Structure 1
Amino acid sequence: MSSSNDSIKKTLTVALMLCIVCSVIVSGAAVIFKAQQQENKALDRKTNILAAAGLLVPGKTVDELYAQITPRVVNLNTGEYTDEFNPETYDQLKASKDPALSKALSNSEDVAGIKRREQFATVYLVEKDGELSRIILPVRGYGLWSTLHGFLALEADANTVIGLGFYQHAETPGLGGEVDNPKWKALWPGKEIYQEGTMEPQIELIKGSVDAGTPDAEHKIDGLSGATLTSRGVTNLVQYWIGEEGFGPYLSKFRKEGV
């Protein structure tokens, strides 16, 4: 009987020691690779920002290309820049979940389906030959199955689109997932988000294709075939973030006063 108890104790002891050793290894690996994970995350963010703005070119590293970009944190309520946060480390998605740094949206306000909106957001300014050439805005909103996260790039006039790209979503491949199709993304450059003389969002996806006979074609994008709800979601999220609740005050101020 004693031998049997000793055997059970030894088995439990060995199992316990294995658990301790494994937990130490896992914890150690998490600490060791944390810095690498953060570097990869930052590199991915920079890559997506550059891609949306059409700035990814062969022969140069992401960091070399990103050197022309200056991030600034903006107060979405006033449209003013703020030095309250470090733009390189500020996490606006995290801030959107913090009641002290965000606000809950009513049903009428929440056209993008994000539930809460952060009070501060990061914009990315691109300079060329000493002058501002592009403004890149983070955007997000709900489609059919998921929240789409991406970047909208504008010319220095704060009105003409350079590009739109999504780096995270779970829309249906071949339908809503066509937001990743280069042919569809190529429809965005040159489109205008506002009508001349106004700050009312006009850009939208329509059912079917845009052609020479489409009224206000400069504000229209081909809808995603077979993906009505995703198309509507893209329209809603873009209009939300360039509207009064999003970057509207900033873009209005920018068009009047510049950087």
Structure 2
Amino acid sequence: MASPDRNPWRRFLALPNTSRTKTLVVAFLVSAICAVLVSGATVLLRPIKAANRAAEEQARIAALVRGVPGMAELLERAGGTLSTVVIDLDTGRAATGVTPDTLEATLADAANWTALETGEDVAGIGHRPDFAQIYLLREGETVSLVLLPVAGQGYNGQIEAILALRGDMNTIAGIAVTGHAETPGLGARIEEPAWQAGWPGKLLRDEAGTLRFAVARGSATSIHEVDGITGATRTSTAMTRMVRFWLGPRGYGPLVEAIRRGEF
């Protein structure tokens, strides 16, 4: 009489295909292998996706700057590049010990985020990073253009954009929406060049220094307003609140004042 096979794998393979044990084990193995492959692909592709997103943002920044009247000449005189600075939002000064290369790791630490109280969180973001990367263009010692990343809660999700300001820190030079989840054909129009073209030249504050910027419910009626988007009142309101928060005291307010005083 032949001795029984002591190899468990061969004994398993010898089971009939109708065996419930064999079916469950095979299903588990296939699922496990697929999970490993998917996880591995995610890890391998993450740097590529991050690089692609960074490249897309840089392309939007370049397009935004090129669309500002007179900026091509200023860039040429400045050597064709914007300077990049990480600022401490609480002080409005260049951050100490945090660089563009270390910013992502810094913001991965929850200790470097500030919880916002309901009354001050007009943008609906919940928490604000303590540090932000901005872009500057100088003409001699004078700041002539500032690009500020901003974000706020829209109708369907977070809206991300880059707001460009002239050196007076009161005149909008342009805006580029870099991410959103708004409704196609309605709120999603915030990414259309035709709508964004209405932003340059608008003023943030009145002569008394009060922040007046708003996306109107209909057509703009003042130098502080941008035309609203028909059928997308909540998205329009979100854009208003986003700009007002980030240009206020809990956002870039301290930086704005430092630049206006010539101290940055």
Bin of the TM-score, shorter chain as denominator length: 0.7 to 0.9
Q: How does 1:126-205 map to 2 (within 5 A)?
A: 126-127=137-138, 132-196=143-207, 198=209, 200-205=210-215
1:225 partnered with 2:225: no
Equivalent residue of 1:8, what SS?
coil
The number of equivalent residue pairs is: 244
Q: How does 1:23-62 map to 2 (within 5 A)?
A: 26=38, 29-30=41-42, 32-54=44-66
3-state DSSP class of the match of 1:135? strand
Structure number with greater Rg is: 2
Give the alignment's TM-score, normalised by structure 1: 0.80
Percentage of matched positions with identical amino acids:
34
Q: CA RMSD in A?
A: 3.4
Q: Quote the offset at 1:181 in angstroms.
A: 1.9
* Range with greater deviation from structure 2 (78-87 or 228-237): 78-87
Local SS of the residue matching 1:138:
strand
> How many Å separate the matches in 1 of 2:93 and 2:11?
75
Q: Structure 1 residues 127 and 81 mapped into 2: Cα distance closer, same or farther (>3 Å)?
A: same
- Give the superposition deviation at 1:29: 4.3
User: Offset of 1:6 from its aligned partner?
Assistant: 4.1
Q: 1:158 to 1:19 in 2, by over 3 A?
A: same
Tell me what 1:8 maps to.
Answer: 15
- Could you list the per-position Cα deviations for residues 183-233 of structure 1 after superposition, in whole angstroms to 9, with x for gaps in the alignment? 1110001111122352x32111112112xxx3xx21111111111111111
* Structure 1 runs not aligned, ≥5 long: 57-65
Secondary structure in 2 matching 1:164: strand
Matches of 2:207 and 2:27, distance apart in 1: 72
> Which of 239, 251, 258 is 1:253 aligned to?
258
Structure 2: where are the runs of 5+ without partners? 69-78
Output the CA distance in 2 between the equivalents of 1:72 and 1:38. Answer: 20
Q: Which amino acid aligns with 2:104?
A: D
Counterpart-to-counterpart distance in 2, 1:207 and 1:123 = 30
Contact 2:175 2:196 in 1 (8 A): yes
